Structure 1
C-alpha cells in the first residue's frame, strides 16, 4: 500500500484562514500514545506552543509540550512523587481531572484530584460558580498547588485553577471563512479535526462520522448508535469535546443525572452539552422511576423533581455493541435488541430517539484511517459547536421541501433536529443550495425511518406509517427514502411462482409475526405425504397434517383431476423472517397441495391469511392491521382474507388497506379458487 499524502492545498488554505487555530494531527497522535489524556488537553497545549508552519519551531514546541506533560501531568503511578514535589517546593503546577462536591456538614466545597488521588481539598466557591462542570463529573484543569502544614484538614491547597479550554472564539470569523472552502473540503477538515483521514473513508461513512457530532451542536438531541466494536462510537464524546461526558458502564442515578434533592444541585443534564451512555446493555438506574424520568426528559427537555419543573439542554447519546450480524438480528428481533429489557418493553422510549446511526456501516478503524494532516484544534471546534447550539436551521427545509403524510409530529421534530445539526456543521454561513439541502434531508429522514421501522416491529400497527417521503415544492414531485438493511430485497418476489409455492403471514406462539414460504414437490408414487422445515413445533406439525387429511378428503371437491393415491407429496415450509414457525398453517399448506396437484400457480405476490380447524371451520383473524403491515413490507400486492374477519377491516388504517387487492373466502375450497391463477 502506498503511503497516504494529506491534501496539501487544503492544509495551506486552512493555515492561512485560521492561523493559530489549527494543528498537525500527527503531533497529536505522536504525543497521545504516551500520555493518557484526552485529545482536547493535548491539543490545547499544542495549540499554545506549536501554532506555526516552521518545522524548527514546531519541534521546539513539541519538546516544550512533552516537558510540560512530563513535569506537570499526573500519572496515577507517579502520584506520590508529585505530592512530594509539592511538599518540597511549597508550590507546584499539575494537570489533572478535578471533581468538586459540596460538603454539607462543613458548608464548604471540596475538590478531588483524579490521578493525584488527594481528596477533601477546599476550593473557593467563586471558582465553583465560574466553572460549574467541576460539580458534575469533573473537568481537566491546570492547577497551581501550594503546601501548608498549618491547614487543619489537608496541607494541599489550590492557589489557582484554569480549565483546559480555549478562552474565547469569534464565531463570526469561522462562519465568514467557511465560505472559502468547498463542501467536500469542509467535510474533510471536520473529519481531520476529530482525527480521521477522509481520503481513506467511503462517502457515506463520512456522513456517519459527522452525524456523531450533531448531539454536540444541537440542543436536546437524542442519538443511538449500535454496531461492531472498534469503530470509534464513544471516541467523540470522551476525547474530542470538554463539553460532553461519557457514562461508562451505563449505571447512574436520578440524583446524578437530573437533580439531587438533598443538595439541590442539578445533575449531569444541566451541566454538560452531551451525556453519552457507553454500552447500552449495561444501562441501570438505581431508582425505579429513572427510565421514566429519562424518557420524559428526552421528549421535552425538562423533568420534574420535587415541586420544580427543571429545563436542561443536554443531548442524550446511546452507544453500544451489536454481537451478531445485522441480517440475523433483523430476522430474530429488532435493532434496539441490545438495550436492557426494561427499555425493550417500552416502545415509547425508543420513539424519543431522533436518529439511529448504523454503526455496522462504519469500518473497524486501522492505523491508516487516522490522519496526519491539519485540522482545527479540537477545543476550537468544541467552542464552535457549543456556540452554534444557540441557533436553529430546522425551518430551512421548507425553503425547498415539505414532508410526506407518513411523518407524524414526533418524526417531523426528529428530522428537523438532524437537518438543523448537519446544516450548522456544514453550512453555518447558510450557503446550502437546494441539492445540498436535499442531501441532508434524505440522510435525516433515513435515520429516523430506521427508528420507526424498529418501532413497527416492537409496537405493531401504532407505528405502521414508515414510508417516509418529502415533496419538492417547486416540482410537486414526491420522493421516498428507504433504509438499506430492510428495504432492498422483497421476501415475496415479483412474477409468477411455481405451482405449490405459497406465501403466508401468521403470528407464532410468542406473538411475533412471520412470513412463511410453502414449496411442494409432487412425484409419482402411492399417496405418501411428507413434511419438512417445521422443526420441533408439534402444533405446526398437527396443522400441516390437518391440511394433508383435509386434502385427501376434499381434493375431488376442488377438481376431479387431482390424484391423492398415485402421487407422493413432499411439502417444505420455510420461515423467511426467522421468528419461529407459527401454528396456524393449515390453510396455506392446503392451498399449496392443491396448487401443486393441479400444476397451477397461485396469483402473483399473493399472501394467504387465516387457517382452519380439523373440521374445516375457518378461524377469525386477530390484529389484522399488524398482519397487513407485514404483508406490505414483504412485498405482497394481493391478500386473501376470511369473510368472517371482514368486520376487522374498519380497524385497519385506510392508507394501509388501500395498498392491496383484497379477496375474501368462505371456506378452504373457496380459498383455493380465489388464490389460484386458473385462467
Structure 2
C-alpha cells in the first residue's frame, strides 16, 4: 500500500468503521469468483481500521472465508460432498429463485455449484424477492437432506438460511452527511473517486467529471443515461462491481416479464427491484417481443408501465453502455454518436429524447493498474446504501432563484438538466444545509447541459428539421447567459469547415470537386491497371482490387498521409469522371450514415482521375437477394428502412420542387424562390441503380453504394443505364424521378423476404401486369407486409409510393406486425 496521506487520515478519523483499503479489495479481485463488493463487504466487517495488526488479523479471516466459501471452477463436487458429509455447507454465491408451476413451489439456483431446483421456503423468497429478478450475492447455508432426493428427479439440497451481502443501515446517509462537512470539495471528490476504485491524481479534472457523472443514476430516480466510447474505460464497472442496487444486463435478449412485470405471476421486474439497470454492450441487446422497446420508451418518459388496466410505477433508472470501434471524430464523420445502439433505437429520435445525459466515454483513458487507488475509500456497500437513500432527497432547492435555463430548452431538456444538476449536487453536497457556491452551480449546469446537448446534436444529425439550430444555455445569478457546446462537435465542425475551405474552387466559396479541363475530357487518356503495392497519385497504396465496372475500377487503398483505409474509384478516362462529377459533388453534401461517404477527388500526374471514398467493411446484399443466404424478416426490413433513410437524404421535396418549377414556367418566381429552386435542384438526386449489388451490410446498418449513374431529378439523361429487373415498367429512362428508386427498393425487399423470387415472371417488370402475390412464395408472410410489397412493386407509378418518407412510414407500420 502507498503511504497513508492526509486524505486517508482525515477519512479514517471521520468515517471509522466505514472504510476499506482499496488495494486490499483489489488483491481479491479476480482471485475469487465473486464481484468486488462481496470482498469489500467482508473487508469492511473485519478490516475497517488503520491499525496494521488488526488489518492483518482481519485479512486472514477474510481470506479464509473467501477460500472456504467461494466455489472455484472444478470444485463443485467437493462442496456437494462436504454438504453430504457434514449435513450442511456455507457458501458465498449468487442466489436466484423461480416459481416451479408443476410443484407449486419455489426453486433456488446456485450457479457456482451448478445446482438448480434447490428446495427453498416461501418465506425466504418473499423476504428476499430480488432473488426472483436476477438474484443477489449472499452467504447461503445449504443443507443436504437425503430423503428429499429419493423421489424420482428429487433434489437433496435445501436452502436453510440466507444472509445478503449487506452491511449498511438505515442511518447510513446521516453518517455520510455528518462526515461531509469535514472535507473540502476537492477532498470529497477524491474520496468518492477512491471509493469506486480510482486514484484521482491519475485523472485530469475533465476525466474526474465524467467519472462523477457516472454516479448520478445511483442518486436520482428514473435517470436515463447513455455512455458510448472506446473499450477498456470501465463503463460497466460501477454497475457490476460497486453496488448491489444495480443490475447489469449483458448483451442479448431482454424480456418484458423480466424487465417490467410477469403477467402470469404479477411479479415486478428489474425496474422495480433495482435502482439502476444497465444494458452492457448495448448494441447486442434486443427485446423478446416487438412491444419491448415501446414499453421501455414509455417507461423512460414517465416512470410507469402498464399491466392490463393497472399502471405500475417504478424508480429504476436505465443506463446503456457500449463501445465505439473508432474514435469519436471518426464516429461523427461516419454518421452520428448513437450509431452503436441497437437498430430499434439507433435512429429513433423520440427514444433519444428520453435520455437525460450522453456521457463522453471517449474522455476517460483506457484503464491500467496505475489508475486504481491503493488508498482508503468507503466500503462499497455502505456507499451504495447512501446513494440509494439519497434518491429520496432533492438538492434542487439550492438552484431556486439562482440558476436559470435558457429560453430554447424544451420541457424534456429542462427535466434532463435538472435531474443531472440534482444528482451532481447530491453527490458532492449531500447535506441540505450546506451552501452550494455559485461556481459549483456553474460547473453542474454546464456539465448537465453538455451531456443533454450531445443527445440533441445526434437527433439533429438524424432529423435536422425538428432538432437543428437549438442552443442550450444557462445563467447563474446576474452573470451573462452561457451557451454550452460539446467539444467533439466543435472539432468536427471545424474539420468540416477546414475541409470545405481547402476544397472550394469557385469565387462563392461553395464546396466543389475539381473539374477536368476540356482538353483532358476530349483526350480520353486511359487509366492504367494498378497492382497491389502500387501507389496512385503518390499517396494511395493499393491493398486490394475490390471490383470493376463499365468505366471505373475500385481499389482498397491505404492513405499514407492520414494512415486510413479508403476506397478509391479510378475512372477509365477523364470523361468518365466528368460525367458524374456534379452528381458526386451533390452527394458529398448529403453526409448520411446510410450513404457511402465521398471524401475527395483528384487526378494523378498522368491525368488519371480518381474519387476517394470511405472504405466500407461489410458484406454485399447480393447473396441474400438470390436466396443463397437468409436474413430474418425484421433484419431484411431494417435493410430496406436504411436504404429509404438514405433516399430521404438525397431525394428532393418533390411537392415544393414542382410548385417552384410551375412558378418558373409562369415567370412568377421571386429572387428568393429562384435561389430556393436552384438549391433544391442542385441537391435533388435519384440513384437510378438501386439493387442488392449496390447495398452493403455493415455492423452499423446498410449503406447505399455506387452513385456513378446518379442524376438530378428531372434532368434529361442521354444514356440508358441501370439494371432492368429493378426498373419499373413505366419509367421514363430519359428523365428519371424518385419513384424509380422506390420501385427498386420494393423489388429488393421482395427478393429478400421471398428467398430470391422476383415479383415479376422472368424478373422482367411489365406494364399492365400486376406483381405476383408474395404469399405464393411465403404463405406465412403477414398481410401487412404482403400488401406493402404489392404496392411498392406495382406496375403503375400512380399506385406506388410517391416519396421515400411515405414508403418508410408504411414499412415501419408493416414491420410492427412481425
TM, length-normalised to structure 2: 0.64
Q: State the partner residue of 1:263.
A: 265
Measured after TM superposition, the shift of residue 291 of structure 1 is: 0.8
Measured after TM superposition, the shift of residue 393 of structure 1 is: 2.3
Q: State the partner residue of 1:455.
A: 459
CA contact (8 A) 2:275 2:315 kept: yes
CA contact (8 A) 1:218 1:421 kept: yes
1:144-168 residue CA offsets vs partner (Å, 9 max, x unmatched): 2222222253222222111000141
1:180-221 residue CA offsets vs partner (Å, 9 max, x unmatched): 101111111111111111111111111111111111111111
Helix, strand or coil for the counterpart of 1:177?
A: helix
Q: State the partner residue of 2:484.
A: 481
Helix, strand or coil for the counterpart of 1:246?
A: strand
CA contact (8 A) 2:198 2:371 kept: yes
Return closer, same or farther for 1:467/1:73 CA change in 2, 3 Å cut-off: same
CA contact (8 A) 2:276 2:318 kept: yes
Work out whether 1:643 is the aligned partner of 2:674.
Answer: yes
Whole-angstrom distance in 2 between the partners of 1:38 and 1:25? 14
CA contact (8 A) 1:517 1:575 kept: no
Q: Pick from 81, 106, 110 the counterpart of residue 109 of structure 1.
A: 106
Measured after TM superposition, the shift of residue 521 of structure 1 is: 10
Measured after TM superposition, the shift of residue 526 of structure 1 is: 12
Q: Pick from 295, 298, 313 the counterpart of residue 297 of structure 2.
A: 295
TM, length-normalised to structure 1: 0.76
Return closer, same or farther for 1:259/1:573 CA change in 2, 3 Å cut-off: closer
Measured after TM superposition, the shift of residue 117 of structure 1 is: 1.7
Measured after TM superposition, the shift of residue 581 of structure 1 is: 8.6
Whole-angstrom distance in 1 between the partners of 2:211 and 2:466? 32
1:514-544 residue CA offsets vs partner (Å, 9 max, x unmatched): xx455689999999999x9996899995475
Helix, strand or coil for the counterpart of 1:180?
A: coil
Helix, strand or coil for the counterpart of 1:260?
A: coil
1:228-251 residue CA offsets vs partner (Å, 9 max, x unmatched): 111111111011000111111142
Whole-angstrom distance in 2 between the partners of 1:573 and 1:281? 29
Return closer, same or farther for 1:139/1:467 CA change in 2, 3 Å cut-off: same
CA contact (8 A) 2:168 2:385 kept: no
Q: State the partner residue of 1:148.
A: 145
> What are the equivalent positions in structure 2 for 1:500-539 lying under 5 Å apart?
500=506, 502-504=508-510, 516-517=511-512
Measured after TM superposition, the shift of residue 388 of structure 1 is: 0.5
Whole-angstrom distance in 1 between the partners of 2:256 and 2:121? 27
CA contact (8 A) 2:139 2:165 kept: yes
Measured after TM superposition, the shift of residue 471 of structure 1 is: 2.3
Q: Pick from 432, 438, 447 the counterpart of residue 434 of structure 1.
A: 438
1:414-463 residue CA offsets vs partner (Å, 9 max, x unmatched): 11111111111111014321111110110000000001000001122111
Number of residue-to-residue matches in the alignment: 561
Of structures 1 and 2, the one with the larger relative CO (CA 8 A, separation 6+) is 1
Whole-angstrom distance in 2 between the partners of 1:130 and 1:525? 84
Q: State the partner residue of 1:46.
A: 43
Return closer, same or farther for 1:481/1:83 CA change in 2, 3 Å cut-off: same
Q: State the partner residue of 1:318.
A: 320
Q: State the partner residue of 2:208.
A: 206
CA contact (8 A) 1:228 1:323 kept: yes
Whole-angstrom distance in 2 between the partners of 1:464 and 1:539? 37
Return closer, same or farther for 1:494/1:60 CA change in 2, 3 Å cut-off: closer
RMSD value over aligned CA atoms? 3.5
> What are the equivalent positions in structure 2 for 1:245-260 lying under 5 Å apart?
245-260=247-262
CA contact (8 A) 2:210 2:364 kept: yes
Whole-angstrom distance in 1 between the partners of 2:59 and 2:374? 15
Q: State the partner residue of 1:18.
A: 15
Work out whether 1:171 is the aligned partner of 2:168.
Answer: no
Q: Pick from 449, 469, 473 the counterpart of residue 469 of structure 1.
A: 473
Helix, strand or coil for the counterpart of 1:399?
A: coil
Return closer, same or farther for 1:623/1:304 CA change in 2, 3 Å cut-off: farther
1:354-378 residue CA offsets vs partner (Å, 9 max, x unmatched): 1111111110001100110000000
Q: Pick from 186, 189, 206 the counterpart of residue 187 of structure 1.
A: 189
Helix, strand or coil for the counterpart of 2:407?
A: coil
CA contact (8 A) 1:357 1:447 kept: yes
Whole-angstrom distance in 2 between the partners of 1:140 and 1:546? 61
CA contact (8 A) 2:233 2:364 kept: yes
Whole-angstrom distance in 2 between the partners of 1:397 and 1:50? 40
In the alignment, structure 1 segments of 5+ residues that lack a partner are 505-515, 548-570, 586-618, 625-639, 650-679
CA contact (8 A) 2:25 2:39 kept: yes
Measured after TM superposition, the shift of residue 546 of structure 1 is: 10
Q: Pick from 395, 398, 402 the counterpart of residue 396 of structure 1.
A: 398
Return closer, same or farther for 1:525/1:287 CA change in 2, 3 Å cut-off: closer
Work out whether 1:224 is the aligned partner of 2:226.
Answer: yes
Whole-angstrom distance in 2 between the partners of 1:279 and 1:499? 45
Q: State the partner residue of 2:95.
A: 98
In the alignment, structure 2 segments of 5+ residues that lack a partner are 526-536, 538-566, 601-650, 657-670, 681-818
Q: State the partner residue of 1:63.
A: 60
Q: State the partner residue of 2:118.
A: 121
Return closer, same or farther for 1:641/1:521 CA change in 2, 3 Å cut-off: farther
CA contact (8 A) 1:501 1:517 kept: no
